[in-house]
Structures are given as C-alpha cells and as structure tokens.
Structure 1
Amino acid sequence: MAHLPPNAAIFSPSVARAAASAAKDWSYVDTWLQRKFPSRGPPPFERNADTLRVLLALASANEAADEERALVARLEAETLQQLRAHEEDDDGDTNALQSAREAILTSLETSLTRDGQTALTAMAALALQTHTPLPNPPALGAELISLSTQTATLEQTTARIQTLTTYLAREASATAKLATDLRPPSPHHHPPQEEDDTQSRSSSSKNNSNPEKTGSYHPPPNLALQNLETQRRIKLLSARLPDQRDKVTTLAKSLSSSSSSSPPPSISQIRQEEETYLSLLATKQALDAQVQAFQGLPPDTERARQELEGLRAELRRMTARRDEVFEGLVERETPRKGGGAGAAARRLG
C-alpha cells in the first residue's frame, strides 16, 4: 500500500487493516532508525514491503542483541559486585587471621623461658645468615655442619699456605745467603782508611786471620782430591758395568729357558699332589696324637723311664687305697658277713 498516496481513501476493510499494520510497522522501523541514525531515514522509493520486512527483521535482531548485551552487562556488574564483596570479606578474614597469628606468636614468645628465647634468637639469626626462608632444626643443623666443614677445610688450607710461605721464605733467605757467599769481591772495593794506623793494622790482621769473613767465597781445600776420587770411582764402575749387564742377560736367559722347558702342571697332577698332601697331613695328625700321650715327660730317656716307674707306683698305691676303701664300705654295710664280703671284694679288686 505504499504506492497509494497518504490521503487516498481505502474502501476495503482488509486493505485498510493491511495498511494500518504496514503503517504501524513503518512507524516502529522509523523510530528504530531514528534511534540508531538520528535525522536520517529511508528514501521514499525504498518504502516497500520487501524493505519493510528486512528492516523489521534487522530491528528485531538488533533489539534481541541489545537485550542480550544488556543482560550480559548486568550479569557482569552483579558478578563484579559479588567479587568485590568477597574480596572485602577475604581481606577481613586475612586481617583477622594475621591478627590471630600475631597474637599466637606473641603469646608463644612471651611464654618461652630464657633458654627458649635464646635458642629461638639463635635459630632466627642462623636462618638469616644461611638465607633459609623456612628454617627447621634438622636443616639448620645440616647447614651448620656444612659450614663447620668448610671452615675446617679453609683453616687447614690456610695452615698449609702459611707452612709453604714459611718454607719459601726460609729457602729464599738461604738462597740469598748462598748467593752472597758465592758473589766474588768487587775489584774496586777497598776497606775504609782509618786515621789510626794501629787500628788499621789490627783490622787487616783480623781479616787475614779470618778469610771467611771478608765476603769472598773460598772452596774447601780438599775439593780437588774429592773430584779425583769421584772420577776414579766413575771409571771403575763404568768398567764393571758391561760385566754386570752380561750377568743380567745370562740370568734372564736361564730363567726363560727353565720356565719354557718345564710345562705347566695339569689338573690331574694338582689333584694327585693334593691327595698326597692330605695323606701326609693325616699321618702327621696321627703322629701328633701318639706324641701327645708322652707330653710332659723329660727329653732324657732314663729320666723319662724313672718318672714312668714313679707314676706306675703311684697308680698301684691308688689302686690299693681304692680296694681298702671299698672293703671298708662293704664291711660297714654287712657286718655279719664281713669275711665273705671281704673275700668277694678282694676277688673283685
């Protein structure tokens, strides 16, 4: 109905209803377009049913999207408000927990004894020195042992370095002294002239009497003899060296020939030698048992025989004593039949 003029009369009711509905839709679309694009509207030639249908669909989709966006924004705002409230509650809980923790720690610290406070202070200082964030006694003990080990190692190293330094200083002084002794005297060196001739003569006499104190090096007087003796010994040993080498070579050849001529023992030979050794060991044990019976006797034959006879006599005396005791017991138990019992006891003995 957009092609009809605005003042055209409509006589059909259905056409009138369609025109009213289209006018209402165009009013809605115009309002939406004015809200989105102020002072702008569709041109007159675009006002047809297809354009109206497309614009209605677009307006509906846009309003639905606006509603969804508004709903999401409202939900985000509510969520943000709840999060802020929760954070405020958490801050309050955290402050409460912190206050409670500080109160507990303060009460524990105040309830400690003097030794406990000293131990706690030492533990805290050690944790700070070792850079331990969460200290505990085992970890601090291990760290302390490690530090003690490092300290002992460093002390030993320092002692060794000091010893080496002392040795080097002593050797340096000895070397300097030796260099001073070996340094030849300067040809332009003259002793200072003394005004007193007596002192000059006395000093010159002292220098002549002690040549070692003049500053010049004097080799020992027997150095030439020592050199000659050393050269003589070197020549003598050099002359004997080929003979010794020949002896060593001959001995090595003899050892190699003997080792090559004798073949290595076989398993059967080793087993036979082992059996022979075991039989000899058994014989030795038997002989040791026989000799053990004569242990305690003197090495002299006559004295051993005399001691053996004495032991036999002692055995006979003990046997007679045993018989007498046995007869006495029998007679005491059977007094009426003493004679017969005594005879029986003698027969048993």
Structure 2
Amino acid sequence: MSHLAPQAAIFSPSIARAAASTAKDWAYVDSWLRRQWTHLRQEQQDGVSSSKAAASSSASPPSFERNPETLEALLSLIAANEEADEERDRLARLESAALDEVRAAEQEKESRRRRQGSSNGSTVEPVTPIHGDLLAEDLLQALDAGLSKDGQTALDALADVSLSLDAAADPSPSNLCRLFVDLQGAAHETSHLLHRVGLLQAYLDDESARLRAFLEDLRQGPQYQLSPASADSDALPHAVEDMAARLPELRRYVEALEKNVGIPALTVEEVRLDEEAYLDLLAKKKDLDAQVKAFAGLPPDVEAARVELENLRTQLREATERRDANFEMLVERESPVKVRTSRRI
C-alpha cells in the first residue's frame, strides 16, 4: 500500500477496497515466491550439510520493484504455473493408471501361465519358433514404450514425413530434406502452371462466350434471315437448274462478242514496253512543265511579252546601278582620310 496515500484510503471506501485486494494479492504472490525460492535453493544445495541447507532455505527471494504491472505479470505467471502443474499431475495419474493396468495384465498372464504349467505336470511344452514379424513388432513396441512424449511425437512426425515423401527405404534427414526441397520446387512449378492454366481457361471462356453470342446473332439476326421468296425449298433448286442450263448459252455469247470486237492478244512483254514508254512521256512532261513555269505571269501576246521583258530588264539595270552607287558611297565613308601636313621652312 506504499503507492496509495493513507488519507485516500480513509476517505474513499472504493480505494480502500482496492488497496485491500492489492495487499491480499501481494501476500499471495510473496507466499508463492517464497515456496518456489525455497524449493529452488533446496535443489541447488542438494548434498550439502543440513545446517547450510537450513540456512539457505530460510533465505528470502531477492527484492524487486512492486508496481501494478509487476503484480499483474506475477499473477499471470502463477496461474500458468498452476495450470501446468495440474496438467502434469493429470498426466502422471493417467500414466500411473495405465502402468497399473499393464502390471495387472502381466501378473494375470503370469498366473495363468503358472496354472497351466501346474496342470500339465511334468509334460514338456514344445518350443515355439520365433516369428520375425512378431519379433519386429515386439521390438517396436518396446522402443515406443521406452520413448518420452517428445520422442514419440518426433518419431511419429518422422514416420509421417517418410511415408508422405515415399522415403521409407532411406529416412535419413539429408534424404528427407532433399526430397522436401524437390517437393517444394515441384509445388512451386505446379502453382505457376495452375496460374497459367487459369489464365488460359479464362481466355477460352471469354472466346467461347463471344462465339456463342456470334452464333446466336447468326441464328436470330434479321440480316441473316432468308427472305420468304428464297426460303421456299422448291423454288431454289429450280433456279439453280435454270442457271446451269443457261451457262452454255452465255459462254457462246461471250465467245461471239470477243470475235466481233476483236480484243487484241497482249503479251507481258508488250505491256512492259508500253509502261516504259508511258513513263518516258511522263518524265518529258514534267520537264516541259518546269520550263513553262518559268514564263508564268507573261501575257499571251508576243509583242506584249517583249515589252514586259524590256521593262523587267530596265528595272534590273536600275537596281544594279543603285546597288553599285550605294556600295561606292559605303566604301568612301568607311575609308580613312589622309591629312597632308605642310613643311615648315
């Protein structure tokens, strides 16, 4: 109660009850710690003189900080320890009961064997041959009985893994690890294959749905439905027969038309030569178009064109003269002026 104010415990009943409960819990924790500490010290001092053992057993546990968090942790530890003790006691009782049953069965078997021996008198029992499977089973049972709980669990796990990996012939840890790694790799590859198969299945489902929709459109679409005239099953064969009967007449008509019109029989070489001649004419046309384009803008009359040409030449000469004059003026302005100095006599 060192963490509570004394006046608060007096004036607040709820705080007083909490303080009393906390003090009770601390008393229970201290008692449990003393028991555990005494038992631990007795185990450590086993084989020492009785006086030293008594002195060591009376020693109290080391001091520690007392706060609500420590109290909660110690109470949880005590509860877990008590639960483990109860579980261990139950297992011990079950093992003791099972051992008693086994001993009773062995005693009954031994007594029955003795009674049979006494009833037979001096008759000698025949020697029973030892069967290999029974001997192996007895050995396995003896080994299983001699193992601890953890050993039995480990042996069962090893047997299950060996059977699962089909490694009963060589259940060594290295072989099991190798088989397990191979199995993990195969499982990884299988997962990838399943993912790919899933994608392919989804694609096939989409395509099949699209094809079903297209087939339904072909069946129900109005643009694909037969007209009433063509839907008649009797009229269609008659139309086919009529067209087949008219084919020879149409062939003769085409042949007569070819003879009357006189379609020339062209060859590939003639077509190639005509194409080359056409390309040459096309190139010449482009050259002539370029030459004519130079005279664009001139009047169509020859005299008027000559007058226009002379005017353009006059403008060219005037522009040339202005250029030369401007150039000479620029040169004179930028040239340095030489000043002559007279000699003194």
Query: Is this a same-fold pair by TM over 0.5?
Result: no
TM-score (norm 1): 0.30
Larger radius of gyration: 1
TM-score (norm 2): 0.30
